[in-house]
């Protein structure tokens, strides 16, 4: 069940963040709130709008993808969506 998987993942992240040694790394990786030009390099930035648990707000989630095959943005969008 997808909903249960998401809850399990959220709990695992919450438990991981409660450990001080993981908090510092998480603040660098998971909690980034911006993507800068020097981080993109030759990649493309794709933004997905994910609804919150109550489907009242859309949360923008951006990811940097590499496209060595020069696919269309829609093909890349659909392929990478399964990895979120």
d(C-alpha 64, C-alpha 42), whole Å: 10
pLDDT the model gives residue 57: 92
pTM: 0.52
Instruction: Name the pLDDT band for 58 (thresholds 50, 70, 90).
Output: very high
Based on the fold, state whether residues 59 and 18 are members of the same structural domain: no
Distances from the Cα of 71 to the Cα of 2, 15, 22, angstroms: 29, 38, 36
Based on the fold, state whether residues 79 and 52 are members of the same structural domain: yes
Exposure of 76 in the CB half-sphere (CA atoms within 13 A):
17
Helices (H), the chain: 2-17, 20-29, 37-40, 73-81
Does the pLDDT at position 17 exceed 70?
A: no
Based on the fold, state whether residues 2 and 17 are members of the same structural domain: yes
Based on the fold, state whether residues 49 and 62 are members of the same structural domain: yes
Based on the fold, state whether residues 40 and 77 are members of the same structural domain: yes
Instruction: Name the pLDDT band for 71 (thresholds 50, 70, 90).
Output: confident
Q: How many domains does the chain have?
A: 2
Read off the pLDDT of each residue in 50-67 and give the average, rounded to a whole number.
Answer: 86
Domain membership of residue 80 as a residue range: 34-84
The total number of residues shown for the chain amounts to: 84
Instruction: List, in sequence order, every residue forming a beta bridge with 47; answer none if it has no partner.
Output: 62
């Amino acid at each position: 069940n997808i909903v249960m998987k998401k809850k399990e993942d959220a709990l695992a992240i919450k438990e991981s963040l409660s450990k001080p040694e993981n908090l510092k790394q998480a603040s660098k990786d998971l909690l980034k709130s911006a993507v800068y030009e020097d981080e993109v390099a030759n990649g493309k930035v794709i933004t997905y709008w994910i609804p919150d648990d109550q489907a009242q707000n859309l949360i923008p989630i951006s990811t940097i993808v590499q496209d060595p095959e020069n696919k269309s943005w829609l093909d890349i969008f659909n392929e990478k969506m399964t990895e979120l």
